[in-house]
Structure 1
Amino acid sequence: MQIDGHHTLTYVVARFAGISHYDAEKMAYSAQYVDEATNDKPIYFDNGAMFDRIVSAHKMLDYRNTQELANHLVWIPFHFLPGNQGIPSDIESDGPFIHRLICKPDSHVARDMLRMVATHWDKPFAAHLMGIAMHVYADTFAHQGFAGVIHDYNRVSELDSSSSSALEGIKDKLLSQGVSRSSPLGHGAALSFPDRPYATWTYLNGEGTPVERDNTAIYLDAANAMCKVLQCWKDADSLMNIDAQPGLSSNQYSMIEQALREIDDDDGDARHSKWIQRLQDGRFGFDPIDLPFNKDGNESWKELARGPSWIQDDNVVYHYTPAFLQSDWKQFHDALKTYRLEVIRDVLPRYGICVA
């Protein structure tokens, strides 16, 4: 998913689940910020304090995408959560390791990841951690059929879509073929098709199996499943009994479906702007709301947390205040580090999956 899915769709679903604007906004910002946290340099303060952080995304042209360790630390836990072939943890899988890494929607692994998140609902970063989990959980639907490593399984051929013109289709196929040959990481060879909510498309995967995708249906399934998870969060159900929750009402489902089908710009930022306008117009059944996503600038989480910087002893430093410890930016990174550690150390090993 792109910013329209991870930010605005997450917010709408959270509100539909009965969560307050205050928490829903934190969840939505965190869900999108997973795609923006690309810097792992430590933060230095003028009093000698430091804060370390990790990355949860690499830009597609980042050299780190060629490093297997970097992919294990970023793409696998945050964007292509392994589906373990749909097999639960108490049944041993005998399939090839790459098959176990392939992302599957609402997998047993994803459910265990959500239960891990539920153990932290009493933490100051609980809403931020749930936002991160919503990013990962949504991507198990959008990124299904691909793995977060460079592997021939991710190769794509005969890419086609009724959502593209003939000329665009030719360009897409040429670009897809180039990515397939050079670096088949995640859904890179499928270009942005998995991230377009309105698109229908087909392709042959790296094993020559034909795949048909209706993204609107997939995104609606994701939205309904996310709603159930967030209803568990609202009810403080630490067992994450997702299947006992009602999910979206028929009216809520229809409003999301209408937005997914009608907002059909290729550019994710353009789609995001139209979702923002619908929120401002009150078209989702709750009070009109302005929901900007400020990645940078004075209103961004990082600037609100850190303030202005200057050079001191050859380091970029910030003025330390005790408020930093309660800032959204710091709590997001606390949640990010907690999530990665426990998914890699605890969740995946239950399935015999060892990464990083």
Structure 2
Amino acid sequence: MQIDGHHTLTYVIARYAGYPHSQADKLAYCAQYVDEATNPNPVKFSNGAMFNRISSAHKMLDYRNTQQLANHLAWIPFHFLPGNQNLPAGEVPHGSFIQRLICKPDSTVARDMLKMVVQHKEQEYGLHLLGIAMHVYADTFAHQGFAGVSHAVNRVEDLTSPEHDLLDRVMTTVASWGLSNTLPLGHGGALSFPDQPYATWHYTNGLGEDIERNNEEDFIRASNAMFQALLCYRDGDLTMNLGAQPSLTQEQQILLRKAFTEIRDEDGDVRHQQWLLRLSQGFFGFEPVELEFHTSGSKSWKEIARGKPNYGYDNQVTYEFTPEFLDSDWKHFHDALKTYRLELIRDVLPKYGICVA
């Protein structure tokens, strides 16, 4: 998903699940910030203090995307959660190791990831961790069928969509072929089709299988699963028994479908602005709200936490340390990010025989 899915959709689902604006806002910010946290460098303060952080994403043209280690640290845990062919822990899929890494919607691995997250509910970073989990969980639906490594299994051939005219189809074919053969990482060969809520599309995957995708239906299923997961978390259900929770109401699903299908632009930022507009108009059935998302500037979590940078000798960057930094949303997000990656890689994935860096 892109920013319209991870930010505004997450906010709407959280409100439907009964979370107040302040909590839904925080969840949505964290869900989107997974895509924005691309800098792994430690933060240095002028008093000698330091804060270490990790990156949960790389830009698609980042050289790190060609490095296997970087893919294991970012794309696998945060964007293409291994699905183990949807088999439970202890059961091994047929084929090579790559079969375990292919992302599957609402997999048993994803459920165990959610169980891990709810264990941290009482921590200061608990809600931030839940927001990160909502990003990953939503992507198991949008990114299904792809793996977070550069591998032939991600190759895409004969990519078509009824939304595109002849010229678009020619350009799409050329771009898809180029990415599939030079850097078959994640859904790169499928371009942005997995992230467009309104798109229907077809392709042949790297295993030679014909795949039909209807994003509207996938996004509705993702929305309902996220809704149920948020209810479990709210109720303190450590088992994450999503089936015991109610589904989105028919009216709520109708409103989501209208947003998915009526906001039709390939640019996720443009779609995001349309979602923000609908939120300000009360379109989704709760009071109008002026939702914002800032990655830089005075309103961003980053600058609120650290202040503006000081440039010293040889352009060394430091920040003025304040006690408020320790309880800032930006620090809690990065604490949650580190906790998530450590426990997923150390505790969750090994139960499925999946060993990543």
TM-score band by shorter chain is: over 0.9
Contact map agreement 2:93 2:99 (CA 8 A) in 1: no
- Counterpart in 1 of 2:36? 36
Please say if residues 138 and 226 of structure 1, whose CA atoms lie closer than 8 Å, have aligned partners that are also in contact: yes
Distance 1:40 1:294 in 2: 19
- The Cα shift of 1:346 comes to 0.5
In the alignment, structure 1 residue 333 sits paired with structure 2 residue 337: no
AA paired with 2:335? D
1:240 aligns with 2:240: yes
Alpha-carbon distance, 1:91 to partner? 2.4
The CA distance in 2 between the partners of 1:41 and 1:187, in whole Å, is 27
**1:128-165 superposed Cα distances (whole Å, 9 cap, x missing partner):** 10000000000000000000000001000000001111
Amino acid paired to 2:308: P
Aligned to 1:152: 152
Q: Aligned partner of 1:145: which letter?
A: G
| Aligned CA-pair RMSD | 0.8
Looking at structure 2, the residues matched to 108 and 239 of structure 1 have their Cα atoms a distance apart, in angstroms, of: 12
Q: Give the Å deviation of 1:239.
A: 1.9
What stretches of structure 2 of length at least 5 have no aligned partner? none
Tell me the TM-score normalized by structure 2.
0.98
- Secondary structure at 1:213's aligned position in 2? strand
Kindly provide the amino acid, as one letter, of the partner of residue 117 in structure 2: V
1:212 is aligned with what amino acid?
E
- Do residues 173 (structure 1) and 193 (structure 2) align? no
| 4+ residue runs over 4 A deviation | none
Which residue number in structure 1 is paired with residue 100 of structure 2? Answer: 100
Aligned counterparts of 2:313 and 2:173: Cα–Cα separation in 1:
51
Alignment partner, residue 347 of structure 2: 346
Q: Which amino acid aligns with 1:171?
A: M
- Please state whether the residue corresponding to 2:117 is helix, strand or coil: helix
| Kept in 2: contact 1:77–1:343 (CA 8 A) | yes
Alpha-carbon shift at residue 94 of structure 1 (Å): 4.0
- Give the AA of the match of 1:319: E
Given that residues 200 and 213 in structure 1 are in contact (C-alpha distance below 8 angstroms), is that contact kept between their aligned partners in structure 2? yes
Offset at 1:233? Answer: 1.4
Aligned partner letter, 1:105: P
Q: State the shift of 1:115 in Å.
A: 0.2
Number of residue pairs aligned between Structure 1 and Structure 2? 356
Q: Within 2, Cα distance between the matches of 1:299 and 1:225?
A: 31
1:247 Cα deviation from its structure 2 partner: 2.3
Q: 1:292 to 1:233 in 2, by over 3 A?
A: same
Residues in 2 aligned to 1:192 and 1:208: alpha-carbon distance in whole angstroms: 21
Instruction: Give the Cα separation in 2 of the matches to 1:234 and 1:291.
Output: 22
Letter in 2 for 1:318: Y
* 1:326 CA displacement: 0.7
Secondary structure in 1 matching 2:290: coil
Q: Write the distance in 1 (CA, Å) between the matches of 2:92 and 2:300.
A: 45
What is aligned with 1:262? 262
Distance across 2 between alignment mates of 1:95 and 1:173: 29
Deviation at 1:92, TM superposition (A): 3.4
Distance 1:313 1:322 in 2: 25
Question: Retained in 2: the 8 A contact 1:15–1:24?
Answer: yes
> CA contact under 8 A between 2:84 and 2:92: conserved in structure 1?
no
Match of 1:195 in 2: 195
In the alignment, the residues of structure 2 paired with residue 94 and residue 144 of structure 1 have an alpha-carbon distance, to the nearest angstrom, of: 18
Partner of 1:324: 325
- Given that 2:201 and 2:213 are in contact with CA atoms closer than 8 Å, whether structure 1 keeps it comes out as yes
Name stretches of at least 5 consecutive residues in structure 1 with no aligned partner.
Answer: none
Per-residue deviation, residues 206-237 of structure 1 (Å, max 9, x unmatched): 12110000000000000000000001111122
Q: Within 1, Cα distance between the matches of 2:262 and 2:94?
A: 44
Whole-Å separation in 1 of the counterparts to 2:351 and 2:194: 29
Q: Distance in 2 between matches of 1:297 and 1:169?
A: 39
Say whether the 8 Å CA contact 1:11–1:28 is kept in structure 2: yes
Query: SS where residue 261 of structure 1 aligns?
Result: helix
Letter of the 1:133 partner, please give it: A
Cα deviation 1:67-92 (Å, max 9, x = unaligned): 00000000000000000011000323
Distance in 2 separating the partners of 1:240 and 1:22: 23
SS of the residue corresponding to residue 146 of structure 2 reads coil
For residues 34 and 247 of structure 1, the distance between their equivalents in structure 2, rounded to whole angstroms, comes to: 26
Structure 2 match to 1:45: 45
Which residue identity is paired with 1:322?
P
CA contact (8 A) 1:103 1:145 kept: yes
